Copies of this chain bind each other. A is one copy, B any other.
Amino acid sequence: MTGHELLEPGAHRAHGVADDAALAAAMLRVEVAWMRALVDGGAAKSDHADAVERAVDGWQPELDAAEVEAAGNPVLPLVNALRARVEDPDAAALVHVGLTSQDVLDTAQMLVARDALDRVLADLDRTAGALAALADGHRASVMAGRTLTQYAVPITFGLTAAQWLTGVLDSRDRLDDVRRSLPVQCGGAAGTLSRAAQLVPDPTDTAAALADRLGLSWPGLPWHTRRTPVTRLGDALVQVGDALGSMAVDVLTLGRPEIGEVREGAVPGRGGSSTMPHKQNPVLATLVHSAALQAPQLGAQLHVCAGQAADQRPAGAWHAEWPSLRRLLRLTVVAAGQAADLIADLQVDSGAMTRRAHAASEALLSESGDSAGDPSAYLGASDAFVETALARFRGGRGDA
C-alpha cells in the first residue's frame, strides 16, 4: 500500500492507466519502433531491431529514482538500462540514436493517453446508451423545471436525460477527434532531426515511419515547444468532466431526500456511513462531481505550461505538464467509469416527479397564463428536443 489509491476512491478503475509500468512500456515501445524506422531508412539492420525487441520482451524495468531525478526525466536511465540489456553491441549502440528524451517521453505519453481515451470512450458510449434509453423512456415523465434553484416551468425527465446525453456526445465526439490525431513527437536534440539526418536519407520519412508503426499521426514537424497536442488533449478531457459533472450535480440535487426524484442504484456495501446505519450516500455522483471540480485546474496547468514553452525545450514548463496530464487521464478514466455505473443503475421515480409537478403547478404554470392547468400540457418543444438528441445518438457523430 505504497500507492495513492486511498484518497482517490475508484482508482482501481484506472489500473494500469498511465502508471509507471505503462509509461515505461510505452517508452520501450517507442525505442523499438524507432529502431524499426531506422531499419526502414537503411540506418540499421533488421537484426539490430530484433535484438532490441528481444531485450525489451517481457522486461519490466526498475529505474532508480535518484537517476531519474539526476537526468531530469526517466528516458536517459531507461535508455542506459536498455542498452545494457541488448546483447548485440552494435544494436545497443544504435538504441535511441537520433532521438531526444522529449521525443520518447512525449510520444509515450500519447500512447498511454490513447489507452486511457479508449477506456473513457467506451464508458462514454455506455453512458450515452443508458441516457438515450432514459430520454426515450421518460418523454412523458413531467417534472418541475428549476432555475436559480426555484420552480420555473414544467419539463420532462426525458428532456433532462436528453440534455445530459447531448453533453456526453459533445465530449465524446471531441475526445474521439483528439484520439484520432494523437501525434508522434520526433525532432531530435533541438527539433531539427540533425542526428537522424546523418543516418537516413530523409529523416522526415523516418519520423513518419515511426508514427506509422505506433499508429500515431506525424504532424509534419516536431512540437517540442508548441504544445497544442497536449492542451487539445487536456481540453477534451476537461470537457468530459464538465459533461459528467453537470449530470452528477443534478443527480445529487434530485436525490436529496426532500426532492427524491432520482436515486443512485443500491449496491450492497455502497454508500454506507461509518456511523449512521440508515444512510445511503450517493457515492458515485459525489465522486463524479469531485472529479469535475478537479479537472479544470489540471487543464489550466497544461495551458500555463504551453504558454511558456521557451527555447527549443523549456526548463520546467515541460516538466510541469507530466503529473497533471497523467492525473487528468486517470481522473477521467475513473469518473467515466463511475458515471457509466451511475447512469446504468439510476433509479428514476417518475411518480414523485409527476406528483411534485402537479403540486407545484401554480408556480410552474405562472408563465403560461393558465396556472390552473395541467403541467403536462405546457411542455413546449420538450419532445422535439428529446428527438433531436436521440437522432444524433442514433445517427452517430455530429455536433449539437
Confirm or deny: A397 has a beta carbon within 8 angstroms of a beta carbon on chain B.
Answer: no
A87 vs chain B, min Cβ distance (A): 21
Confirm or deny: A41 has a beta carbon within 8 angstroms of a beta carbon on chain B.
Answer: no
CA distance A242 to B378 in the complex (A): 40
Cβ B400 vs Cβ A219 within 8 A: yes
Q: A306's closest neighbor in chain B, by CB?
A: B242
Q: Which of under 10, 10 to 19, 20 to 34, or 35 or more describes the interface residues of A?
A: 35 or more
Confirm or deny: A294 has a beta carbon within 8 angstroms of a beta carbon on chain B.
Answer: yes
Which residues of chain B are within 8 angstroms of A6 by Cβ–Cβ distance? 20, 23-24, 63, 68, 74
Q: Mark A383-397, 1 if CB is under 8 A from B, else 0.
A: 011001100100000
Cβ A276 vs Cβ B192 within 8 A: no
Our pick among B258, B316, B327 for the contact of A287 (Cβ within 8 Å) is B316
Confirm or deny: A298 has a beta carbon within 8 angstroms of a beta carbon on chain B.
Answer: yes
Binds B, one of A50-58, A119-127, A361-369: A361-369
Cβ A152 vs Cβ B310 within 8 A: no
Our pick among B242, B378, B392 for the contact of A307 (Cβ within 8 Å) is B242
Confirm or deny: A19 has a beta carbon within 8 angstroms of a beta carbon on chain B.
Answer: yes
Our pick among B60, B232, B290, B303 for the contact of A295 (Cβ within 8 Å) is B303
Q: A230's closest neighbor in chain B, by CB?
A: B242
How many subunits of this chain does the assembly comprise?
A: 4
Cβ B100 vs Cβ A267 within 8 A: no
CA distance A239 to B290 in the complex (A): 20
CA distance A339 to B8 in the complex (A): 29
Given the known interface contacts A20-B2, A145-B190, A296-B300, the answer about A227 and B242 at a Cβ–Cβ threshold of 8 Å is yes
**Which residues 126-149 of A sit at the B interface, judged by CB distance below 8 A?**
145-149
Which residues of chain B are within 8 angstroms of A248 by Cβ–Cβ distance? 316
Most B CB contacts (10 A, CB to CB) among A24, A195, A259, A315 go to A315
A168 vs chain B, min Cβ distance (A): 10
Q: A253's closest neighbor in chain B, by CB?
A: B310
Confirm or deny: A72 has a beta carbon within 8 angstroms of a beta carbon on chain B.
Answer: yes
CA distance A183 to B245 in the complex (A): 22
Cβ A366 vs Cβ B278 within 8 A: yes
Given the known interface contacts A72-B286, A326-B7, the answer about A150 and B279 at a Cβ–Cβ threshold of 8 Å is yes
CA distance A147 to B319 in the complex (A): 13
Cβ A367 vs Cβ B194 within 8 A: yes
Confirm or deny: A360 has a beta carbon within 8 angstroms of a beta carbon on chain B.
Answer: yes
Confirm or deny: A265 has a beta carbon within 8 angstroms of a beta carbon on chain B.
Answer: no
Which residues of chain B are within 8 angstroms of A66 by Cβ–Cβ distance? 12
A119 vs chain B, min Cβ distance (A): 16
Confirm or deny: A91 has a beta carbon within 8 angstroms of a beta carbon on chain B.
Answer: no
**Which residues 14-44 of A sit at the B interface, judged by CB distance below 8 A?**
19-21, 23-24
Cβ B8 vs Cβ A192 within 8 A: no
Cβ B65 vs Cβ A316 within 8 A: no
Cβ B312 vs Cβ A304 within 8 A: no
Confirm or deny: A94 has a beta carbon within 8 angstroms of a beta carbon on chain B.
Answer: no
Extra inter-chain contacts (4) besides given A70-B283, A289-B308, A293-B305, CB under 8 Å: A2-B20, A69-B287, A151-B279, A166-B226
Cβ B249 vs Cβ A189 within 8 A: no
Cβ B367 vs Cβ A149 within 8 A: no
**Which residues 230-271 of A sit at the B interface, judged by CB distance below 8 A?**
231-232, 235, 238-239, 241-243, 245-246, 248-250, 252-253, 255-259, 267, 269-271
Confirm or deny: A182 has a beta carbon within 8 angstroms of a beta carbon on chain B.
Answer: no
Given the known interface contacts A312-B147, A315-B289, the answer about A380 and B196 at a Cβ–Cβ threshold of 8 Å is yes
Cβ B297 vs Cβ A298 within 8 A: yes
Cβ A96 vs Cβ B292 within 8 A: no
Confirm or deny: A71 has a beta carbon within 8 angstroms of a beta carbon on chain B.
Answer: yes
Which residues of chain B are within 8 angstroms of A104 by Cβ–Cβ distance? 274
